[in-house]
Structure formats: structure tokens, C-alpha cells
Amino acid sequence: MTKTLHVQIKSADRSDLEERLEAIDAGEDVDPSEPTLSIENLETFGRVFRSTNLELLEAIVEHKPESIRELARLVDRNPPEVLENVNELADYGLVEFEKNGRAKRPIVWYDEINADLPLTTKSGQGPKANA
């Protein structure tokens, strides 16, 4: 079964969070929401999902490396650089770590990313581009 992470360019939508928490406190059944990552702007999206990071995510999903060092070998890069990139991905919740002795095993729980990239802003003026 495909597990999809949805990514959107906008601030995190927490509009129904309080209602959902109250329903849970009241013992009501609450349908789980789709896993969604909100990224604040297109520049950040481009940095987080640059090709080197996507290559790391693909290698983690396909090969399930036991350590950062093994992941670095899989993508033919230096371990310190890979660790820096994987830590950035972890900061955004895209990678988790499992302790494996002294090593940290990178884990990705999803196998597909669905990105929602609007071409206009809500005001209709279009996205701001910096040259």
C-alpha cells in the first residue's frame, strides 16, 4: 500500500485543530487527517527538495540503510555532507532516526510525495520571484 506525504506551500493549517482535540477529549471518533507538511515559501521548498535531498530520500526508501555512513556510500557522497542534508530533512519531519548502536539509522515512513505548488498567491498577484 502506498503511503503518501502531502506537501503544500503555505503556513500550517491548524484551523480545525481545537475542534479535533475537543472531540478526542469527549471520546468521539475522529478520522485521522492526511499527513501534510506545510512549507512557508517556494524558496524553502526548493532548498528542502533539491535533487541531492531527493536522492537521499529515494536511497533511504529503496535500500533502508543501517547508518548515515551506509547511506553516504549508496549515494557516493561524504558522510558529513550526507549527515548535514539528512539533519535538514529531519528538521522538516521528512526523515526520522532510529538508534542502531552508535549509528543513527535514517527512516522514511512514506514512499510517495504529493506536492501542491500554487502558481498564484491568494491575492492573484502571482508568486514573488527574486532575481
pLDDT digits 0-9 by tens, 31-90: 666 778 888 888 999 999 999 999 999 999 999 999 999 999 999 999 999 999 999 999
DSSP3 helix / strand / coil % (the chain, rounded to 5): 40, 20, 45
Q: How many domains does the chain have?
A: 1
130, pLDDT greater than 70: no
Does any domain span residue 96?
Answer: yes
Q: Does position 97 have pLDDT exceeding 70, yes or no? A: yes
pLDDT score of 5? 92
Query: pTM of the predicted model, to two decimals?
Result: 0.75
- In which domain, by residue range, is 58 found? 4-10+31-116
Domain membership flag for residue 26: no
- The Cα-based distances of 100 to 20, 48, 65, 68, 105 in angstroms read 36, 26, 11, 11, 6
Kind and range of the H or E element at 116?
Answer: strand 112-116
The answer to whether residue 68 is domain-embedded is: yes
Q: CB-based contacts of 107: which residues, under 8 Å, 6+ apart?
A: 60, 95, 96, 97, 98
Domain containing residue 37: CATH number: 1.10.10.10
**What are the backbone angles phi and psi of residue 46, rounded to the nearest 5°?**
-60, -35
Which has more pLDDT, 72 or 10? Answer: 72
Listed residue (79, 34, 40) closest to 56, CA to CA? 79
pLDDT surpasses 60 at 13: no
The answer to whether residue 19 is domain-embedded is: no
Does residue 127 surpass a pLDDT of 60? no
Over residues 4-28, the mean pLDDT reads 72
